[in-house]
Amino acid sequence: MGRRARASSEWVDIAYASERTGFSSVLILGLIDAGDMPAMQVKRARRTTHRLPRRLVDEAHAKVMAGGTVELREFARQWAARNSAPVAAEVA
């Protein structure tokens, strides 16, 4: 997926989420690992990657662009509660 996510994709990678929201990929990965950010884990032969819901990333981006401030941990928790998203999902 790289830095650009396909327009039709419901899931985006950490690099895209970082670029779009302005938060570091290390922070986003830390929130995923802590269970505070809804994400899907994709295990491959060489490495494990993570995907985040595009709607979460787009809503965080919209809030920042509208002049709001975002505390990403709390924003992700509230978003997950509103959207009934699982905190973490593992895909074999």
d(CA 53, CA 79): 10
Q: Domain boundaries in the chain?
A: 11-91
Indicate if the pLDDT at residue 50 is higher than 60.
yes
Pairing type for strands 11-13 and 88-91 reads unpaired
CB-based contacts of 56: which residues, under 8 Å, 6+ apart? 37, 38, 76, 79, 80, 83, 85
Mean pLDDT value across residues 34-62: 92
Query: Length of the chain in residues, anyone?
Result: 92
pTM value surpassing 0.85 = no
pLDDT at residue 70, as a whole number: 85
Mean pLDDT value across residues 13-17: 95
d(CA 68, CA 48): 33
Q: What's the pLDDT band for 52 if we cut at 50, 70, 90?
A: very high
Q: pLDDT (tens digit, 9 = 90+) per residue, 54-78?
A: 999 999 999 988 988 889 999 999 9
Can you read off the two tokens belonging to residue 10?
């419901």
